[in-house]
Amino acid sequence: MRASEDFLRVGATVTFVGFIIVLLGIALTMLQHPASTQMGGLIMLGPIPIVFGSAPEITTNMLGLGLLITILYLFLWKTKR
């Protein structure tokens, strides 16, 4: 069982470091270009996309990405059954 504990620690560490890198990237982008920064995001709750953005084109792009992921999810779920 020691190997599974090691994998869990490595996975948690890599995830934590990834979050820190993303947050630092966002902060550095905002500091370098404070007036022209546009951001958007996509949160998937199962097959349901929740999108947000600071500009209409960003929000539209996130919505398209969310719909693409939803269609892919539903297609893979249907083929699994």
Give residue 21's pLDDT: 94
Q: Kindly report the backbone phi and psi dihedral angles of residue 15, in degrees, each rounded to the nearest multiple of 5, phi listed first.
A: -65, -45
User: Domain segments of the chain: what residues?
Assistant: 1-36, 38-81
pLDDT at 20 over 90: yes
Higher-pLDDT residue of 47, 33: 47
8 SS3 class? helix
Give residue 35's pLDDT: 72
Confidence of residue 1 (pLDDT cuts 50, 70, 90): low
Q: Specify whether the CB–CB gap between 51 and 69 falls below 8 A.
A: no
Give residue 67's pLDDT: 93
Q: Kindly report the backbone phi and psi dihedral angles of residue 52, in degrees, each rounded to the nearest multiple of 5, phi listed first.
A: -155, 155
Give residue 24's pLDDT: 92
Rounded to an integer, the average pLDDT of 4-18 is 91
